[in-house]
Homo-oligomer: A and B are copies of this chain.
Amino acid sequence: MEQRLTVVTLGVADLERSARFYEQALGWKRSAQSQDGVVFFSLGGWVLSLFGRDDLAADAGVSVEGSGFSGIALAHNVRSQGEVDAVLAQAAQHGGRLVKAGEKASWGGYSGYFADPDGHLFEVAHNPFWPLDERGQVELG
């Protein structure tokens, strides 16, 4: 199995509400390959997908029952501390929820968290030890 992933799918209660959150709060643009019932955001070689939570459980053949902490967080790294605060504020202003305001982290960076309209956790972080290239990507050794 090659060391890569292709899609992260977030199950959502209201597809249009979530798609608008990613467009308006985050400023992302949905892919023209989005279809009825599924919205794709191209992330530079891989894809974030929004899909009905019930549909996702049904596709995997598992019970849709579940609550509380998902055990997963997505992170968006930025180039400065101020940018962390700006992204968190922007998410909170457009339908996200501020979970943790930006603060200095024990690992030497600065980070905070917001939740999307379904509660999916996003960390926004500045990590001075992981420089971002011009595409915003990070290549670890």
Contacts and interface: CB of A to CB of B under 8 A. Distances in A.
Interface of A: 1-12, 26-29, 31-33, 40-48, 53, 56-57, 59-78, 87, 90-91, 99-100, 113, 118, 120-121, 123, 125, 130, 132, 135-141
A66 B69 contact: yes
Contacts of A76: 1-2, 4-6
Contact of A118 (B28, B71, B75): B71
Contacts of A100: 60-61
Contact of A62 (B12, B40, B121, B139): B121
Contacts of A65: 68-69
Given A6-B77, A71-B66, A90-B1, A113 B57 contact: no
